[in-house]
Amino acid sequence: MVFSHGWPLSSDAWEDQMKFLAQRGYRVVAHDRRGHGRSGQTWNGNDMDTYADDLAAVFNALDLRDAVLVGHSMGGGEVARYIGRHGSARLSKVVLVGAIPPLMLQSSNNPAGIPVAVFDGIRAGLSADRSQFYRDLSMPFYGANRPGANVSQGVRDFFWLQGMQGSFKSQYECIKQFSEQDFHEDLKKFDIPTLIIHGDNDQMVPIEHSALLSAKLIKQATLKVYPGGSHGLVTTQKDQFNADLLAFIQQQ
């Protein structure tokens, strides 16, 4: 099991899944993307191709084979670009969760996408007060602003902590990567079973801009929609997600 985290988090975002699977005998591997978590805060290389190549370096260094590769949010883009650039020879299955592919930004080729002004707002918020921005962002990330939501302060604080561990410059440059990268051609190269999980109340990566489209582009895709699910469903609905993940892993 290999996990790729979302923005602006770290591999710690997967701790519930890693503990769950390791206790059931699976080997689990997760990296902190460059500029995030405990990785080096490089000045250069904050782009999707380099992220995918970094992931390939992890696979090669650990000689990982027959892996189930799981990507959340921007990590889903990293997974897609990894397959686009390096193929699926070391993989057995793929899981995309709240993932950004195929393309988030509105353009002439993607008129139904999200306007650039939204991402400019993220850049402005990050530049004005990164710490407060992450505190505020944790609310829609986990759906804590929805009626009846039960999201602890601890979960929101953990989001803030992971965000603040990363590099300001890397996280800022990352916004362009998760908003403007086009993964259509990468998704067409998927040739192994793929599970797509997405919440229909995802306020960060709306399902209509992402999972519903990716499911049509990936040949062996299975789409599972979580009613009311937030962007942070791997935490807020971890029991359901872990069970679905395990079932997919074990599926022959």
Number of domains the chain contains = 1
CA–CA distances in Å: residue 166 to residues 8, 32, 75, 117, 127 = 7, 9, 15, 24, 14
Question: CATH number, domain at 140?
Answer: 3.40.50.1820
The range of the structural domain enclosing residue 65 comes to: 2-250
Per-residue pLDDT of the chain (252 residues; tens, 9 = 90+): 999 999 999 999 999 999 999 999 999 999 999 999 999 999 999 999 999 999 999 999 999 999 999 999 999 999 999 999 999 999 999 999 999 999 999 988 899 899 999 999 999 999 999 999 999 999 999 999 999 899 999 999 999 999 999 999 999 999 999 999 999 999 999 999 999 999 999 999 999 999 999 999 999 999 999 999 999 999 999 999 999 999 999 998
Answer yes or no: 5 catalytic. no
In what helix (H) or strand (E) does residue 4 lie, and over which residues does it extend? Answer: strand 2-4
Taking CA 56 as the corner, what is the angle to CA 44 and CA 96, rounded to the nearest 5 degrees?
A: 100
Catalytic residue among 10, 39, 73, 170: 73
Cα distance between residue 220 and residue 222, in whole Å: 7
Structure confidence at residue 152 (pLDDT): 97
Separation of first and last alpha carbons in the chain:
16
Nearest Cα neighbor of 16 from 243, 194, 217, 225 is: 243
Structure confidence at residue 179 (pLDDT): 97
Answer yes or no: 127 catalytic. no
- Cβ contacts of residue 125 below 8 Å, gap of 6+? 133, 136, 137
Answer yes or no: 202 catalytic. yes
Structure confidence at residue 112 (pLDDT): 86
Cα distance between residue 209 and residue 191, in whole Å: 22
Catalytic residue among 10, 202, 210, 214: 202
